[in-house]
Amino acid sequence: MSLDAIFLDRDGTINYDFGYVGDPENVEILPGVIDGLKKLSESFPNIKFIVISNQAGVARGLITMEDVKKVNTKIKNILSAEGIEISKFYVCPFHPEFSDEKDVTCRKPSPEMVLQAVEDFNLNLSNTYFIGDRTSDVECGKNAGTKTILLASDKYKNELEILNKKNISPDFYAKDFTEAVNWIIENEVNAEN
């Protein structure tokens, strides 16, 4: 079984989404994430974990790019202490209402950040998954050519419905991170047989 990478949304997927997370002191990893990433690392020893994150709070003037970097570092350090390495954080700090048109091309659902990661790490897209809690995560993954998992979210309850209206379906709809990880492993095992 070979799996090149898992692309992960950040807020609402790895850590609690309090809305524009700018203070590293507020970082709290969601249940199941640490154990799930460990399980994936054990099952696929060369796997890369890559974070793909829209951070429009920067364009809105609510947080700074420095805040985003500090939060990313805090997440990286928490996970690193558990033996989990995040290969890289890709961030799009722009928003169509506040930014130049040419700048917002990185913003999910655009696949730009994923494709940059593919180039940076020489990944095979058919051996990747994208896990996130928003329609933009699923659409980004689909646009790039990854398998996609939508996480159920207390904050965003209608994401599946919104996708259905666009005739887009995630490859899997998971009630939580643990279920997402178990499905990836099961899916990969079945693909081998």
| Catalytic residue IDs | 9, 11
Residue with tokens 């898992």: 6
CA 71 centroid distance within chain: 15
**Lookup: tokens for 33:** 């994430």
Residue with tokens 């930014």: 99
Tell me how far apart the alpha carbons of residues 63 and 75 are, in angstroms, rounded to a whole number. Answer: 17
Alpha-carbon Rg of the chain, whole angstroms? Answer: 16
In Å, how far are 137, 149, 171 from 118, measured between CA atoms? Answer: 16, 19, 20
Strand partners, 148: 130
